[in-house]
């Protein structure tokens, strides 16, 4: 921080009396200088590395909060000014330019993920992979925003660069190609192509780099994604006639028929150097429909987790059945409600707890509790507090992995599930784990739970089928990079995006909904700085305040 002598003489020194040795004194000085007509400017040609939170040890959060309270008291407009600056982000282009130069100079593979914008397990796997390999490669992602609009971002918790392109415009399309070339992308990894512009699916061939594909669901072969019919159950894949009938109520975009849809998907998959499936069940289907051989690689969420031995709990007066996740109809929400309802009417000594929520409000039953949405880091403590005896996975479609199953496996408790998809296969050979036909009616499930509660069912271990599953750690650390070739730096040394070009990649102007959210945010900030509400706000946890802010900004 550089301050002119004449500014110091006009404004005075840092206010030690009000701020002490800690945080906020430079912010206060800048506010005082601003009020006296001085300007705060940013030297975009200077980089300063700041290692945060080292000056005051564990007391830094308390000191920061005290400094913020003092700042808001002295300068009620402070929060609004900061928020206006963040929204304007005048240094964005210089920051991104520095990022691009930094990425380009690092001697690591540059990997571009192409995926959808719906979050969920696909997004989680992408983040886990990038985090797992953060010392081995630099990761970026491209996602659809709307139609031909895409967002490119650096895919790491320590990166913040975001660039928007409309590939329908030649200018934006050329800019995107220029960006990819300047960074020097070495590998394109398609994780999903739902909503992805076709131009992106040809990118690897255009820049002459390898292309990988990971199957996260059945979208390439089933436009409904889940292989389920109108009854929200697995359709049993009875052939193209069945698919055509199903598509009458769920038409494919651009009025394609199912054959054309699968031919298009096969062309994309055929152009991939490596196809990755998370388990054998998925691999078999992709081979059946597309003739591809895949690497069967489980996700890496349990890579460094030592699972406890599986054991039965001591018999209780009531059997406690846990279910984990956000339950849609195909994940068994309606089935759960029906089983709990019959159990209550029959006075069965069984309780159910859904650790999560359902797609609709389930019937209020004394033997069914629902936690609602939870933070991932809180799940195990929620489970520990309720103390289930067994976990139930009532999925009615062939799931392709199931992160919620991973959470159940961490507990060492018994598990019962349906006999289709990845959950069925991941339970192979695991003690005290059972599967029932996915067609089983609610009363069949209830009878099973009653039998289990009475006798704790003697377990007969299933044979583990032969599998070509590879260890995910060794695959991603070694084999994943075998096809990656480094580009000749001479080819892209003269490619440089300019500040003016980077300005063209700003987020499009806010729509009406976003403008309303921004106005609400500014109103809340203004109210937070008011004398009447300042003391009340102090008692609202910062984590809550940040959550509300992120919702309004996002």
| Rounded Cα distance, 180 and 40, in Å | 35
For the stretch 149-202, pLDDT in tens is 999 999 887 788 999 999 999 999 999 999 999 999 999 999 999 999 999 999
| Rounded Cα distance, 56 and 59, in Å | 6
pLDDT along the chain (554 residues), means of 10: 94 91 89 94 86 64 82 88 88 94 93 95 95 95 94 88 95 96 95 95 95 97 94 95 90 84 96 96 96 96 89 84 97 98 97 97 97 93 96 97 96 96 92 94 96 71 60 94 75 80 87 71 67 64 64 63
Predicted local distance difference test score (pLDDT) of residue 66:
85
Task: For residue 281, give the DSSP letter.
Answer: H
Question: CA 164, 167, 172, 173: dihedral to nearest 10 degrees?
Answer: 130
pTM of the model: 0.87
Of 179, 169, 180, 175, the residue nearest 205 (C-alpha): 180
Sequence ranges of the chain with CATH classification 3.40.50.2000: 319-455
- Token pair in block for residue 171: 């200018």
Question: CA 378, 379, 381, 382: dihedral to nearest 10 degrees?
Answer: 110
- Could you report how far apart the first and last alpha carbons of the chain are, in Å? 31
For the stretch 281-298, pLDDT in tens is 999 999 999 999 999 999
Q: How far is CA 32 from the centre of its chain?
A: 42
Q: Which CATH architecture has domain 319-455?
A: 3-Layer(aba) Sandwich (3.40)
Task: For residue 58, give the DSSP letter.
Answer: G
């Amino acid at each position: 921080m550089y301050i002119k002598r004449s500014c110091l003489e006009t404004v005075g020194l840092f206010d030690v009396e009000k701020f002490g040795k800690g945080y906020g004194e430079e912010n206060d000085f800048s506010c005082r200088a601003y009020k006296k007509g001085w300007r705060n400017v940013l030297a975009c040609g200077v980089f300063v590395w700041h290692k945060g939170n080292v000056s005051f040890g564990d007391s830094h959060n308390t000191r920061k909060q005290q400094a913020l309270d003092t700042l808001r008291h002295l300068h009620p407009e402070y929060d609004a000014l900061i928020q206006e600056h963040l929204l304007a982000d005048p240094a964005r282009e210089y920051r991104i330019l520095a990022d691009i130069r930094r990425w380009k100079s690092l001697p690591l593979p540059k990997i571009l993920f192409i995926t959808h914008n719906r979050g969920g397990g696909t997004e989680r796997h992408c983040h886990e992979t990038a985090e797992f390999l953060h010392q081995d490669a630099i990761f970026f992602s491209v996602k659809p925003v709307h139609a031909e609009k895409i967002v490119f971002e650096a895919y790491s918790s320590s990166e913040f660069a975001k660039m928007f392109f409309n590939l329908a415009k030649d200018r934006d399309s050329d800019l995107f190609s220029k960006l990819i070339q300047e960074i020097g992308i070495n590998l394109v990894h398609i994780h999903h192509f739902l909503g992805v512009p076709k131009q992106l699916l040809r990118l690897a061939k255009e820049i002459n780099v390898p292309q990988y594909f990971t199957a996260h669901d059945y979208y390439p072969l089933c436009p409904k994604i889940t292989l389920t019919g109108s009854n929200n159950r697995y359709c049993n894949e009875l052939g193209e006639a069945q698919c055509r009938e199903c598509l009458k109520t769920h038409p494919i975009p651009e009025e394609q028929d199912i054959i054309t849809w699968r031919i298009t998907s096969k062309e994309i998959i055929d152009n991939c150097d490596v196809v990755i499936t998370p388990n054998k069940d998925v691999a078999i289907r992709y081979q059946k429909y597309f003739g591809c051989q895949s690497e069967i690689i489980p996700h890496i969420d349990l890579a460094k987790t030592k699972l406890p031995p599986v054991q039965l709990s001591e018999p209780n007066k009531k059997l406690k059945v846990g279910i984990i996740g956000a339950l849609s109809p195909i994940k068994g929400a309606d089935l759960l409600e029906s089983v709990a309802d019959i159990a209550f009417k029959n006075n069965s000594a069984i309780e159910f707890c859904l650790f999560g929520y359902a797609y609709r409000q389930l019937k209020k039953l004394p033997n069914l509790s629902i936690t609602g949405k939870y933070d991932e880091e809180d799940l195990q403590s929620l489970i520990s507090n309720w103390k289930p005896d067994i976990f139930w996975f009532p999925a009615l479609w062939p799931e392709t992995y199931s992160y919620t199953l991973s959470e159940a496996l961490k507990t060492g408790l018994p598990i019962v599930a349906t006999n289709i998809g990845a959950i069925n296969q991941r339970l192979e050979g695991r003690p005290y784990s059972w599967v029932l036909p996915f067609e089983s009616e609610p009363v069949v499930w209830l009878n099973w739970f009653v039998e289990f509660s009475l006798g704790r069912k003697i377990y007969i271990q299933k044979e583990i089928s032969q599998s070509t599953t590879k260890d995910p750690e060794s695959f991603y650390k070694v084999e994943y990079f075998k096809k990656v070739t480094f580009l000749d730096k001479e080819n892209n040394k003269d490619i440089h995006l300019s500040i003016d070009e980077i300005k063209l990649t700003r987020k499009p102007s806010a729509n009406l909904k976003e403008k309303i959210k921004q106005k609400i945010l500014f109103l809340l900030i203004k109210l937070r700085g008011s004398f009447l509400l300042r003391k009340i706000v102090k008692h609202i946890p910062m984590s809550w305040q940040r959550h509300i802010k992120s919702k309004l900004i996002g």
